[in-house]
């Protein structure tokens, strides 16, 4: 059955902090450390055998002592919130797209495919937003995730983000990383499925749209794209949204031109372009789209299967910076819960269906059975890395040390 990227727009519940001490930075660091280092007892339920209840705190402590030499296999699921510190707005946070712009509506896959005008609107906005994304860098949280992977506290990563920051930092051999919703670093042809570098595509857009290129240069000179604060961007007339586009209210996008697939051009009679190679409304093939899973688009079957394999192979799941507002992500957390696996959440704001992840968890657990906090990940994860390294004796890893030092320096700057 196909899984589509569909946003959940209903109000999200207020979180229940677990344990209560996780309402502070110090308590969050301790609870999350316990969650990551405590071996998990899981059981995959069947129709005949109901899922077992969560063990008591005493049972958990006994299990921890008996299995002190083992390390749980933790799957990390990240969302837009982890990239906010890189200057990329999320959807639901205090400075998120939905918060700042109540009328914002992302383009849907069916619109992009079916309408030349919709593609003009998308690529014009992406043309301006790309510069900010291109210059953005992985932040403290991304570097701490890489260090946790090196320390053995995280065994795999699934990210909803399309910025490729985890891919840049994570060692694929030791920390497999799956981009659930694709990536913005490339475009892909809807006809031949070949991918092309997004920066090269940007340069082609500059050639086809000299007036828009001039406008982009003015934005850069004015500093409208320099600030990492989306509120300041809006005051300067620009907003960068999580999928890398910039909204310009009242702008006519009908003048914007975009190129056809270089491979299909000249080979497919259905590709219609003007004298400069720009796509015209009559074209039936050779249309390039971002290599992301757009809203309303199905997750590729191989990605869906791989994500499920990540969940099946894990002992527990940690969610950072995601409200699970898309079904494709929420279903993975639900799958882990159905398998009796502990779930931890570090996210500023509510999370879709989170009350169902913590049913039966004692409120006074130390974080080893379940974890929930609203603290900012960039201030929590580096300290957790340090504690895990000391507990497991992995701080001698010079690569991990450098990653942690960079993360802590970034958090304090």
pLDDT score of 116: 97
Neighbours of 66 (CB within 10 A): 10
Residue 16, CA distances (Å) to 19, 76, 89, 354, 362 in order: 9, 20, 25, 9, 12
Position 191 in a domain: yes
Number of structural domains (the chain) is: 1
Please give the pLDDT value at position 297: 95
Q: Does 131 score more than 60 pLDDT? A: yes
pTM of the model: 0.83
- The verdict on residue 278 lying in a domain is yes
Which pLDDT score, from 0 to 100, does residue 2 have?
A: 75
Question: Is 219 annotated among the ligand-binding residues?
Answer: no
Q: What is the pLDDT of residue 11?
A: 79
Q: How many other CB atoms sit within 10 Å of the CB of residue 226?
A: 15
Report the percentage of the chain scoring pLDDT > 90: 65
What number is the average pLDDT over the span 78-98?
71
Residues spanned by the domain of 203? 117-136+185-292
Asked whether residue 268 is domain-assigned, the answer is yes
Question: By percentage, how much of the chain surpasses pLDDT 70?
Answer: 77
Determine the pLDDT at residue 231: 59
**Which tens digits make up the pLDDT trace of 335-389?**
999 999 999 999 999 999 999 999 999 988 999 999 999 999 999 999 999 999 9
- Find out whether 206 is annotated in a ligand binding site: no
The catalytic residues are: 181
Selected residue with higher pLDDT from 188 and 99: 188
264 is in an annotated binding site: yes
Task: Tell me, yes or no, whether 231 lies in a domain.
Answer: yes
pLDDT tens per residue across span 220-234: 777 766 654 555 655
Residue 270 lies in a domain: yes
Q: Could you count the other beta carbons within 10 Å of the beta carbon of residue 255?
A: 11
Lowest model confidence (mean pLDDT) among 123-127, 158-162, 215-219: 215-219
Q: For residue 221, is it within any domain? A: yes
pLDDT in tens, 11-55: 788 899 999 999 999 999 999 999 999 997 754 443 333 333 444
pLDDT > 90? residue 164: yes
Which two three-digit tokens encode residue 212?
């828009």
pLDDT at position 181, please?
97
Average pLDDT rounded to a whole number, residues 278-291:
97
Residue 364: inside a domain: no
pLDDT of residue 103: 53
Residue 305 lies in a domain: no
159 pLDDT band, cuts 50/70/90, is very high
pLDDT given for residue 363 in this prediction: 80
**Shortest CA distance to 329 belongs to which of 308, 344, 347, 348?**
308
* Burial of 213: CB neighbours in 10 Å, binned 0-12, 13-18, 19+: middle
């Amino acid at each position: 059955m196909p899984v589509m990227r569909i946003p959940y727009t209903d109000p999200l519940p207020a979180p229940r902090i677990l344990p209560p001490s996780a309402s502070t930075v110090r308590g969050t660091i301790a609870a999350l450390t316990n969650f990551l280092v405590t071996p998990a007892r899981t059981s995959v339920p069947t129709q005949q055998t109901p899922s077992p209840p969560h063990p008591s705190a005493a049972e958990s402590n006994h299990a921890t002592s008996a299995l002190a030499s083992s390390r749980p296999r933790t799957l990390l699921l990240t969302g837009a919130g982890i990239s906010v510190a890189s200057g990329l707005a999320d959807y639901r946070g205090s400075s998120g797209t939905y918060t700042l712009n109540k009328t914002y509506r992302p383009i849907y896959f069916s619109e992009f495919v079916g309408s030349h005008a919709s593609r003009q609107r998308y690529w014009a906005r992406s043309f301006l937003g790309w510069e900010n994304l291109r210059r953005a860098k992985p932040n403290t949280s991304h570097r701490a995730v890489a260090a946790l992977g090196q320390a053995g506290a995280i065994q795999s990563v699934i990210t909803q983000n399309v910025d490729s920051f985890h891919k840049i930092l994570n060692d694929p051999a030791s920390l497999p990383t799956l981009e659930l919703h694709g990536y913005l670093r490339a475009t892909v042809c809807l006809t031949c499925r070949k991918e092309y570098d997004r920066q090269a595509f940007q340069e082609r857009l500059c050639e086809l749209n000299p007036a828009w290129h001039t406008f982009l240069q003015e934005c850069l000179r004015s500093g409208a794209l320099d600030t990492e604060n989306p509120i300041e961007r809006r005051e300067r007339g620009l907003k960068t949204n999580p999928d890398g586009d910039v909204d310009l209210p009242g702008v006519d996008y009908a003048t914007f031109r975009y190129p056809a697939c270089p491979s299909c051009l000249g080979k497919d009679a259905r590709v219609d372009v003007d004298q400069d190679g720009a796509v015209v409304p009559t074209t039936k093939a050779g249309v390039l789209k971002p290599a992301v899973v757009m809203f309303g688009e199905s997750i590729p079957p191989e990605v869906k299967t791989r994500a499920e394999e990540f969940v099946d192979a894990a002992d527990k799941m940690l969610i950072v910076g995601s409200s699970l507002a898309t079904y494709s992500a929420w279903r993975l957390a639900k799958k882990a819960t159905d398998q009796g696996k502990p779930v931890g959440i570090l996210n500023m704001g509510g999370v879709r269906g989170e009350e169902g992840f913590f049913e039966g968890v004692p409120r006074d657990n130390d974080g080893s059975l379940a974890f929930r906090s609203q603290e900012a990940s960039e201030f929590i994860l580096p300290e957790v890395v340090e504690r895990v390294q000391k507990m497991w004796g992995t701080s001698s890893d010079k690569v991990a040390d450098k990653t942690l030092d960079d993360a802590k320096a970034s958090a304090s700057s």
